[in-house]
Amino acid sequence: MANIKKLEESEVFKSYFKNLTDRERAVFEGGITLGALFHQFVGTPVSLNNKESLEKAIEEAMKNQPCVEDIEVKIVGDFEEGKYVSLTGEMLNVKLKIRVNETIAILRLRYIEELDYPLMYVEKIE
Amino acid sequence: MANIKKLEESEVFKSYFKNLTDRERAVFEGGITLGALFHQFVGTPVSLNNKESLEKAIEEAMKNQPCVEDIEVKIVGDFEEGKYVSLTGEMLNVKLKIRVNETIAILRLRYIEELDYPLMYVEKIE
Amino acid sequence: MANIKKLEESEVFKSYFKNLTDRERAVFEGGITLGALFHQFVGTPVSLNNKESLEKAIEEAMKNQPCVEDIEVKIVGDFEEGKYVSLTGEMLNVKLKIRVNETIAILRLRYIEELDYPLMYVEKIE
Amino acid sequence: MANIKKLEESEVFKSYFKNLTDRERAVFEGGITLGALFHQFVGTPVSLNNKESLEKAIEEAMKNQPCVEDIEVKIVGDFEEGKYVSLTGEMLNVKLKIRVNETIAILRLRYIEELDYPLMYVEKIE
């Protein structure tokens, strides 16, 4: 329906973000979504049996967050048949697209071997 | 493959549970799975758009846990078009089937209005 | 005050557990608490700086759960100065005391090297 | 020791953030920390007995995150003696100070009644 508005489109909501440029807003919202995703799902039991349904559920859940236009989640690792592990940050490979007006930010969460750390960073802003 | 064994079928694993009857083991494993499910997923963004993929992902993730034979998860609540909320324990309606040898326990997590509390309990043991 | 009753002492609450022996109830509640603890806190940033406050907060939070009489949480691992990691199940060493009437169950969560798995089990019931 | 460097001070780490201004970096890191905090701790059992230890543990855990200079967490709500609830986003009142070189950003997470939503926003950047 034409008059169903998302929370983020309300004037009150918008008033809290007037002090940010579109680029700043985009990386702020992207940061929230990456931090949320990591800390919500790390610990979840994962195996070959549920890897795909978990990837999909993470993507779909995160699309609810303000300004998320698209998101791709891959759970990477050597899974053994018949064995499950707890999801860790190191296993997450995420590509997140945030839109604020005409600004698009592409953000990443992925394990960086050189740092031995699952890094969240901004790949590009257009 | 016939010789792929789940962790829970190893002799070392089993040795830790020799002090429990099958009934006790069943409710112990059921308790773990209900506690795990609640505290893993509460907080997840949920709306009409991702309710089903989240229900499915919770079910599939929890089937990895030892002794879980089946599980049904329903997320209940009045969802408004275009709005998302954080998943709460009150929204979870879970039916869990645990098997230990010939013993089957049916466990529940659901909101009990009289208690104003999302209760975990054992519905029956057979 | 004498007439402040905990939820778990209400007759409605108790009515859901009439089908369990005290031993069964004890291991059920113990299982819930261990599953809850693991899946609530795994992922938390932890370093030498906050190890103790996190251990204490986990203990105090879990004492709210029904039938928990006492709990001891140790976070184990080689922490490097100036570096933090995400809490994993392998780092948790938990001793949990559950009371149901006169029955006391001691439960454990700890990493078992032979299994390469953070195991939840019942150490003894008295 | 003078030569213990935090991860975020390494050249490899820094190289991932060369495309951001200090302001952008500050709100990005602030967003991550707020999203992380919310989704890590929502669901934790909380009562009058453990409110303070939980507030402290959240603060101390989040100080590990890159660029966090200070953080104040208050858990707000009407707690009844002898009763516990699951922590919700609505109960969180957070003030977060992020530093990137000379830029300081103050970020907030708090429940906004008009929106009926626990909002994360940037209060000011200096």
**Which comes out higher in pLDDT, residue B92 or D4?**
B92
- What does the mean pLDDT of chain D come to? 94
Which chain A residues touch B63 with a CB distance below 8 Å?
49-50
Give D82 or D32, the one with higher predicted confidence.
Answer: D32
Distance CA(B119)–CA(B109), nearest Å, equals: 5
pLDDT higher than 70, residue D92? yes
Does position B4 have pLDDT exceeding 80, yes or no?
no
Question: How large is the average pLDDT for residues B33-37?
Answer: 98
Q: Give the residue-averaged pLDDT of B47-63.
A: 98
Mean per-residue pLDDT, C46-50:
97
CA distance C43 to C11: 37
Interface residue B34 vs chain C (CB under 8 A): yes
ipTM rounded to 2 decimals: 0.95
pLDDT digits (tens, 9 = 90+) for C51-110: 999 999 999 999 999 999 999 999 999 999 889 999 999 999 999 999 999 999 999 999
**Cα–Cα distance for residue pair D49/D52, rounded to 1 Å:** 8
CB contact under 8 A, B36 and A47: no
pLDDT of residue C53: 98
Task: Report which of C119, C105, C87 is spatially closest to residue C29, judged by C-alpha positions.
Answer: C105
Nearest CA among A70, A71, A65 for reference residue A6: A65
Instruction: Please give the interface size between A and D, counted as residue pairs whose CB atoms are below 8 Å apart.
Output: 97
Is residue D111 within 8 Å of residue D118, measured between CB atoms?
Answer: yes
Q: Annotated binding residue at C120?
A: yes
Is the Cβ of A1 closer than 8 Å to some Cβ of chain B? yes
Task: With CB atoms and an 8 Å threshold, state whether D82 touches C6.
Answer: yes
Position C1 confidence tier, pLDDT thresholds 50, 70, 90: very low
Q: Which domains does chain C have, with CATH numbers?
A: 8-125 (3.30.1300.20)
The pLDDT value given to residue C82 = 84
Q: What average pLDDT does this structure show over D45-69?
A: 97
Beta bridge partners of D27: none
Which residues of chain B are within 8 Å of residue C30 when distances are taken between CB atoms?
28, 31
pLDDT band at C16 (very low <50, low <70, confident <90, very high): very high
Q: In this complex, is the C-beta atom of C14 within 8 Å of any C-beta atom belonging to chain A?
A: no
Give the per-residue pLDDT at A9.
Answer: 85
Rounded Cα distance between D66 and B70, Å, is: 42
- Which residue numbers in chain A have pLDDT < 70? 1-5
Measured distance between the N- and C-terminal CA atoms of chain B, rounded to whole angstroms: 30
* pLDDT exceeds 80 at position D4: no
Is B8 annotated in a binding site? The answer is no
* Sign of the alpha-carbon torsion through B20, B23, B24, B27: positive
- Asked if the model's pLDDT at residue B3 lies above 60, the reply is no
Question: Is residue C2's pLDDT more than 50?
Answer: no
Helical spans, DSSP H, in A1-126: 11-15, 22-41, 51-62
Q: Is C72 helix (H, G, I), strand (E, B) or coil?
A: strand
Decide if pLDDT at C7 tops 90.
no
For residue C98, give every residue at least 6 positions away whose Cβ sits within 8 Å of its Cβ, in sequence order, or none.
C26, C27, C29, C30, C33, C67, C68, C69, C104, C105, C106, C107
For chain A, the first-to-last Cα distance in angstroms comes to: 31
Reply yes or no on whether the pLDDT at D2 is more than 70.
no
- Residues of chain C found within 8 Å of residue A44, distances taken between Cβ atoms: 39
d(CA D87, CA B88): 10
Q: Cβ neighbours of residue B7 under 8 Å, at least 6 residues apart?
A: A82, A83, B13, B66, C115, C117
Across the interface, of C36, C54, C82, the residue whose CB is closest to D6 is C82
What is the model's pLDDT at position C5?
Answer: 60
